[in-house]
Structure 1
């Protein structure tokens, strides 16, 4: 990636310029049998649409805090990069009552109602499906995001020195996040084109780095696995072979 990249959004732009067709995120949920593969171009399109929703419909501004109550999932990765594109602080597992807005999965809706700002709900169904019945008091992400624009431009430039991510008691600026992701990529031996399989949850920096930021910083891709413990015997080895995995990290 480019040495001048200073925010996660910069990393994505560089990936898009280098090779838009290559895989970036391959997601498995072994509790449902779901598999989703997103190329750099497809992932970037989801990020642009989500950033437009965040900036325009939800009126989020740089410095706002978003409580992100989602598991390790491809749509969570999209939200992380959308927040970075707007300049919103993604507070992973953060307190909704202290946030300006909240994004919740189906299992954390009650907790998310403590947020007095905008609330977005994700059903996390296969293929990005919507809720059969939209939860009261929430915007259904799957209903609202398809109509958003395919290109995104922030109203104000994102400051690399401003807070970008909070997780597990740590807070990172955009520049610090990129620097640490690059260091993690080097420690894992990730080169351009690497395929890193991660089953770590998104509740810590290590999980977020392995499951998104380090592969992105390296010019590689991630095979993100949820409920990996439900694979049958021999299933992991078959996946490593079929997905051309070059490195692997499991839950810390």
Structure 2
């Protein structure tokens, strides 16, 4: 599916496939952490493999079906992109939970609804005990440089990176996901999220081929740092622990054309 087709059908999961129409070889998503020195670059194909594995983990490993719910307690990160796009590719709706320990506001409704699976950042579990919903399937993400397994997995959780690598990376089918299906547990549809993403992309004048530098400290909403650039056919540079006042100079270094 090309970008124009994705816009016509308003299918949020199809936007990853649409990105291939713009650039198949360059990095679609770059994640930088200035505190650790991590730099991870993922092309459309590389991110697509992680998305497919995540979708297969949910469908084959967890036996989830379209309409089931996932809680995502993760900061902006390349693995978060894989989890979100994987869930949406499987037709699983998402609840965005408050990132209380990071001082961030609620980024979406529906946090108190029951869920079937949860994805939680390892370094926030202890401080989120009251916010982490009970789920039959619970995965923890270390989000460490190098995507290494977690040394000590918390009781009741499975290491996402270990589990997801057991599943195939063939492209998931988008046929079962309709634009009117719920993308988030509050009932907001894929069509509605696509409309929001389109509005953000147009308000920022994003165009195919743009490179968007995002300071993760100020842009925690996935519709901003992930969906809007994908909708526009742009690539993303996620910068974590970016020194204050350095976004513009970093944008020049990275060849970014837009800064969020």
Contact 2:140–2:157, Cα closer than 8 Å, also in 1: yes
Alignment of 1:196 onto 2:212: yes
Runs of 4+ in 1 over 6 A off after TM superposition: none
| Cα RMSD (Å) | 2.4
1:225 maps to 239
TM-score w.r.t. the length of structure 2 is 0.84
The residue matched to 1:98 in structure 2 has which SS? Answer: coil
2:119 maps to 103
Find the partner of 2:181 among 162, 168, 185: 162
Number of aligned residues: 241
Q: Which runs of 5+ in 2 are unaligned?
A: 98-109
1:34 maps to 38
Q: Aligned partners of 2:122 and 2:155: how far apart in 1?
A: 12
Alignment of 1:70 onto 2:74: yes
Contact 1:193–1:220, Cα closer than 8 Å, also in 2: yes
2:102 maps to none
Alignment of 1:80 onto 2:94: no
Q: Which range moves more in the overlay, 50-59 or 149-158?
A: 149-158
The residue matched to 2:183 in structure 1 has which SS? Answer: strand
The residue matched to 1:27 in structure 2 has which SS? Answer: strand
Alignment of 1:151 onto 2:170: yes
Which string of whole-angstrom CA distances, capped at 9 and with x for unpartnered residues, describes residues 16-60 of structure 1?
244321221111122222111111111111100111111110112
Alignment of 1:51 onto 2:55: yes
Contact 1:195–1:220, Cα closer than 8 Å, also in 2: yes
The residue matched to 1:228 in structure 2 has which SS? Answer: coil
Alignment of 1:240 onto 2:251: yes
Contact 1:96–1:113, Cα closer than 8 Å, also in 2: no
C-alpha displacement of 1:156: 6.9
Contact 1:181–1:217, Cα closer than 8 Å, also in 2: yes
Q: Aligned partners of 1:5 and 1:97: how far apart in 2?
A: 29
1:20 maps to 24
Q: Aligned partners of 1:174 and 1:151: how far apart in 2?
A: 23
Which string of whole-angstrom CA distances, capped at 9 and with x for unpartnered residues, describes residues 181-219 of structure 1?
112111101111111111245986xx3233111110011
Q: Aligned partners of 1:239 and 1:21: how far apart in 2?
A: 22
The residue matched to 1:91 in structure 2 has which SS? Answer: strand
Which string of whole-angstrom CA distances, capped at 9 and with x for unpartnered residues, describes residues 145-170 of structure 1?
2231111435971121011035xxx7
C-alpha displacement of 1:135: 2.0
Q: Aligned partners of 1:27 and 1:123: how far apart in 2?
A: 15
Q: Aligned partners of 2:248 and 2:143: how far apart in 1?
A: 26
